Structure 1
């Protein structure tokens, strides 16, 4: 459960409250003066290490309206810091509010400077908070909460006056175009809130005169006034203020406003302190007056919380990343198991197919070698027509020679180192009549040889029908004359490697 401390400061002293679970609980009351500061210091020693918010409802406030050239960045910050030092030279509790740009001329930026004019009323309390290293997140005043209060009232006019009661007195806050322009705290009259009607009318008439003197409103303009009261105080207050000239009072139920921002207890008086405290706890972007030195511990805690939050986010991111990698790993493992099962199934099917095939005549490696050699043979072998065509041309030129037998040899066509070679062994014969003249037969064979030789790479006459040695006489007996003269040739075609 988120716990915070809210300290409400007025002219009577400092009251501490504890906020937890949407409820505000009274903790301690510290009177104005050294004794009250001492009791506050002792209380801080035992207080929880949590955030502190200070709401100061004091009459010592200043408001200055000014215009500055329209600049941005560090130049604007330096200019506003110098202006604040000029307006509130003795107070560190200052801030500025932008009221927009002027519509004419250079269109300068309109600025409202506000701050505590008597810093001594705050110094002891803030010094104790800083000395005890308490985390002060903001120092608010009721006027600085005007923007949030206007969000609850939702006025339909651009300007007006908001009046509220508290033990410190009558608070009047003037707004224009949805922004704070001026505020004042009048002393509290005697008696119950229901009897403050005449004092309220008197103080609002003073404020009306001031606004007219500043020319913020014209003299004949009726000024709307929103009076924040408990319902039981409507009648007596309305009877006291209804006859006011130039003032148009609107009574607003204080309980309705408090319930709209989460205050659960029913208010029994017109004290606006619970509303202001709820607004102070609720706001996080409203302007505040605490100097940077007083908020140093709060800044450190914010930085630590930010680092912790970033660490948690980083841890969550790493955890999610690790979970994603784990899920991806599981998915990959499942895919791997599925693929292995499919591979095993396909292997089993392959083995079954192999078993259903007839037995191979030779081992697979031997068959692969034969197929590769056959492929090389087809790519390197010389086709038979390369030798048969030259032979047929010569046979056409010698029609009397008859081809008896033909054998061919491709050699080692599978070899990759020796050139391809085709060899033809030819058996041929002349007619029987040629046997009567051996010399003419030999000349005919030589002519055939000479005709065929240019068309081939190699040609060898291996065997002749007659002995053709020069020192012997050619003879033909009766048996030779009955046989055809046969001869043998060896023809070769080569294919050189590229």
Structure 2
């Protein structure tokens, strides 16, 4: 999202100094309402009234002397371990303020590859809390609390300098000097500009002090040149150009505040070197991911984000529903056309069949009965079994039973025979009636019965249903061999019913 698109969204931009709060309500990239409020009960009451119509996210930018910076090298950790480490550091450095943050500058490339961290805090919460409490009481969606040094980095990102000092002036706070090493924020100083002191007088007076301060902290290595970038208008540039002397220690460059204002679409541009609007618009354009506000401060902003996510999801669902409805309507229309086409083809087919039926010769049987008869005949023809196919297995079985003689064999089809498992019940069974007798068993009647039973089992194993209609003698529990002695002296006759159906 570019700057114009980001500023089209409604937002409330606040600039807080030690004794003053500037507020401006942005809409469509323009200031639609603004006000200045002193840090006293009357000023805070006026600010409360100013917030009455505000329903948009808020960004609070601070420019205070009481801002501390500490550079630390800490182990590279993730998850809960990292959170616990940061919590210990905050308790160690900034126990008295809730406005603190930790920024990862870089990860070292050698050794344990530890993290270079910048810990910072607004150390005088009494200057900030009253204004934050008002925002929370009015349920304003506070997106974050930021500082001028924190959002200065994008202004110098295109300058190739290892050691850079950015100087700016904000009307309500004073002269701000922010030092960067390899484009990483290291430290920043704010000096109030009092009375009749001009911007260029303050720069000339404080620049040498800052240089000596950086040397005392060993932030500027010996032999390195400090590049000084001064954000000012043309008049102050001319004054400073004549009063500052180039040296091997410091190199000066001037950033035209008018050009920066044009890049950020600030209208009208400032007629002096006040950079307040530049930092406010830079914050609106690209708010940093880290800031001084905690989760309690940003509670209503999270709700505002959730509301917009739900609205977006609802809109997406609504659009998807419209798309699905349109597709269903199209499919219904297509189905209706297809149904009409099928109905027309059905009528044409019916008409053609009626013409063919009308051309049939007159018969005593109905066409439906004839169709059923043809179907049955085709099925019978399909399952017509040649005698050789049904008799060959029986003949092969007889070859293994030499003591079994066949006297008579009859063959017929029957649809009333019981249907065996895994056979086709709608096909008539092929039924053989086998009459024969057993020979060479003398008086060993049990062996004769076992011999006949084994023959039946062999046929059953080949898919036949075998039923004994009569046996050589009655072997039931109620029968008596003695009573049948005359019968058993004659040939041992028997009758078997052998039936067969095609398998499934």
Q: TM-score higher than 0.5 here? A: yes
1:183 maps onto 2:188 in alignment: yes
Q: CA deviation at 1:282?
A: 1.7
State the distance in 1 between where 2:232 and 2:429 align: 121
Aligned-CA RMSD value? 3.2
Flag the 1:42–1:367 CA change in 2: closer, same or farther, 3 A: closer
Alignment of 1:95-494 (within 5 A): 95-151=101-157, 154-167=158-171, 168-188=173-193, 190-191=195-196, 195-243=198-246, 246-355=249-358, 357=359, 359-362=361-364, 363-368=366-371, 371=374
CA contact (8 A) 1:380 1:413 kept: no
SS of the aligned residue for 1:16 comes to: strand
Flag the 1:116–1:414 CA change in 2: closer, same or farther, 3 A: closer
Q: 1:23 aligns with which of 25, 30, 44?
A: 30
CA contact (8 A) 1:380 1:414 kept: no
Flag the 1:158–1:347 CA change in 2: closer, same or farther, 3 A: farther
State the distance in 1 between where 2:119 and 2:385 align: 108
Q: Structure 1 unaligned runs (5+)?
A: 384-410, 421-495
Q: CA deviation at 1:65?
A: 0.8
CA contact (8 A) 1:140 1:288 kept: yes
Which of 69-78 and 359-368 deviates more? 359-368
SS of the aligned residue for 2:81 comes to: helix
State the distance in 2 between where 1:278 and 1:120 align: 26
Q: List per-residue Cα deviations over 1:136-192 (Å, max 9, x = no partner).
A: 1111110110233234xx112233111111222111111122221111111215447
State the distance in 2 between where 1:71 and 1:116 align: 25
Q: CA deviation at 1:19?
A: 0.4
Flag the 1:418–1:103 CA change in 2: closer, same or farther, 3 A: closer
1:454 maps to none
Q: CA deviation at 1:244?
A: 5.2
CA contact (8 A) 1:51 1:134 kept: yes
Which of 137-146 and 17-26 deviates more? 17-26
Flag the 1:497–1:147 CA change in 2: closer, same or farther, 3 A: same
State the distance in 2 between where 1:324 and 1:85 align: 60
SS of the aligned residue for 1:155 comes to: coil
1:33 maps onto 2:36 in alignment: no
CA contact (8 A) 1:6 1:53 kept: yes
2:439 maps to none
User: Which is higher, the Rg of structure 1 or of structure 2?
Assistant: 1
1:8 maps to 15
State the distance in 2 between where 1:277 and 1:327 align: 53
CA contact (8 A) 1:228 1:252 kept: yes
Q: CA deviation at 1:20?
A: 0.5
TM-score (norm 1): 0.71
TM-score (norm 2): 0.70
SS of the aligned residue for 1:156 comes to: coil
Q: CA deviation at 1:374?
A: 6.0
State the distance in 2 between where 1:331 and 1:179 align: 65
State the distance in 2 between where 1:377 and 1:163 align: 109
CA contact (8 A) 2:163 2:227 kept: yes
Q: Structure 2 unaligned runs (5+)?
A: 1-7, 388-411, 417-426, 432-498
Flag the 1:18–1:373 CA change in 2: closer, same or farther, 3 A: closer
State the distance in 1 between where 2:269 and 2:278 align: 12
1:43 maps to 50
SS of the aligned residue for 1:165 comes to: strand
2:82 maps to 76
CA contact (8 A) 1:172 1:185 kept: yes
State the distance in 2 between where 1:324 and 1:19 align: 43
SS of the aligned residue for 2:308 comes to: helix
State the distance in 1 between where 2:321 and 2:19 align: 55
SS of the aligned residue for 2:73 comes to: strand
Q: CA deviation at 1:60?
A: 1.3
State the distance in 1 between where 2:135 and 2:33 align: 19
CA contact (8 A) 2:169 2:274 kept: yes
